[in-house]
């Protein structure tokens, strides 16, 4: 693991690091914020998964999570959204290829050799972070848009990994949306029965979530129809999964929306991870 930068922030440290990923077969970059409370021992860890076109840097610089993480004493991990670099498959469209890994393990060519983001996030990077940073065994996960999709699906597929869950404007029902069908078909092939393992609306019914979940959605989100939040809320209600869904009047899909409600989410996770 290489240290690319470390800066003091709200009494803690915001670092950016890189390593050679066995899962993705290339060098991957990620960021970790360690709060000042870590000086006294391991702290809970919140994973923030970003959306389409993002790198580790977008949320790190725009979401304002460091101030809240320092207040509540939790670490925050900001992974990249896909493998990158020369020789890595890509597409001219912004919503496929580099910057658009969708947090799945691709099985189709040309994506399969490198696009193994599910294994990377849930296993390889998790092990790297827990071995090299002062974080405890208590982990939560959140994310925005495509990252909200990743947070919801990984939490339900790996229930022992995460003890708290939230999402900002997640892609909630990708098997029924153009933000999902295109990518799942490209990465996983034409058999749509394989796609459902990566659809939060379906997973709630098939696997469930033992805890509660917080979801914020902007009522003025320009991508509302692609996100399909109503399908997920119906599934959560049908399965009697405890949830708090907040439709925020006037807010769009941007990081202005995320940063406005970021403290609520950090507080949500801190309460559950520390409790």
> Among the residues of 31-160, which ranges form H helices?
57-62, 65-72, 117-119, 125-132, 146-157
Residue 145 appears among annotated catalytic residues:
yes
Structure tokens at 61: 């610089």
Positions of the chain with pLDDT lower than 70, given as ranges: none
Q: According to the model, what pLDDT value does residue 19 have?
A: 98
Q: According to the model, what pLDDT value does residue 111 have?
A: 98
Stated pTM of the model:
0.98
Q: According to the model, what pLDDT value does residue 152 have?
A: 98
Cα separation of the two ends of the chain: 32
The catalytic residue among 56, 68, 144, 253 is 253
Residue 198 appears among annotated catalytic residues:
no
pLDDT tens for each residue of 182-194: 999 999 999 999 9
Q: According to the model, what pLDDT value does residue 275 have?
A: 78
In terms of residues, how long is the chain?
275
> Among the residues of 73-193, which ranges form H helices?
117-119, 125-132, 146-157, 178-188
Q: Is the dihedral of CA 269, 32, 59, 198 positive or negative?
A: negative
The catalytic residue among 21, 50, 82, 145 is 145
Q: According to the model, what pLDDT value does residue 86 have?
A: 92
Q: According to the model, what pLDDT value does residue 159 have?
A: 86
The catalytic residue among 149, 221, 243, 269 is 221
How many Cβ atoms sit within 10 Å of the Cβ of residue 218? Answer: 26
Q: According to the model, what pLDDT value does residue 174 have?
A: 98
Q: Provide the 3-class DSSP secondary structure of residue 88.
A: coil
- Nearest residue to 26 via CA among 126, 114, 144: 114
- Nearest residue to 169 via CA among 94, 261, 103, 62: 261
Determine which helix (DSSP H) or strand (DSSP E) holds 233, and give its type and residue range: helix 229-238
Query: Which CATH code for domain 2-274?
Result: 3.40.50.1820
How many Cβ atoms sit within 10 Å of the Cβ of residue 62? Answer: 16
What is the distance of C-alpha 79 from the center of its chain?
Answer: 8
Q: How many CA atoms lie within 13 A of 10 on its CB side?
A: 19
pLDDT tens for each residue of 199-214: 999 999 999 999 999 9
Residue 221 appears among annotated catalytic residues:
yes
Going by DSSP bridges, is the β-strand pair 213-218/164-168 parallel, antiparallel, or unpaired? Answer: parallel
> Among the residues of 133-209, which ranges form H helices?
146-157, 178-188, 200-206
């Amino acid at each position: 693991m290489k240290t690319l930068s470390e800066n003091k922030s709200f009494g803690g440290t915001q670092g950016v690091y890189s390593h050679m990923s066995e899962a993705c077969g290339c060098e991957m970059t990620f960021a970790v914020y360690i709060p000042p409370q870590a000086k006294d021992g391991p702290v809970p860890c919140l994973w923030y998964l970003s959306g389409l076109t993002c790198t580790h840097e977008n949320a790190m610089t725009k979401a304002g999570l460091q101030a809240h993480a320092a207040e509540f004493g939790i670490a925050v991990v900001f992974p990249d959204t896909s493998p990158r670099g020369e020789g890595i498959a890509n597409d001219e469209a912004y919503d496929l290829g580099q910057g658009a890994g969708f947090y799945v393990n691709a099985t189709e060519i040309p994506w399969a050799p490198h696009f193994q983001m599910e294994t990377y996030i849930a296993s390889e990077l998790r092990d790297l972070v827990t071995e090299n940073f002062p974080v405890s065994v208590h982990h939560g996960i959140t994310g925005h848009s495509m990252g909200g999709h990743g947070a919801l699906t990984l939490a339900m597929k790996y229930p022992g990994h995460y003890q708290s869950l939230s999402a900002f404007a997640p892609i909630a029902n990708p098997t029924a949306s153009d933000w999902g069908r295109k990518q799942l078909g490209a990465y996983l092939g034409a058999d749509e029965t394989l796609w459902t393992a990566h659809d939060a609306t379906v997973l709630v019914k098939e696997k469930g979530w033992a805890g509660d979940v917080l979801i914020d959605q902007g009522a003025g989100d320009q991508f509302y129809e692609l996100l399909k939040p109503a399908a997920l809320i119906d599934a959560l209600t049908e399965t009697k999964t405890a949830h708090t869904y907040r439709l925020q009047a006037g807010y769009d899909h941007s990081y202005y929306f995320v940063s406005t409600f970021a403290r609520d989410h950090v507080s949500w996770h801190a309460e559950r991870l520390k409790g």
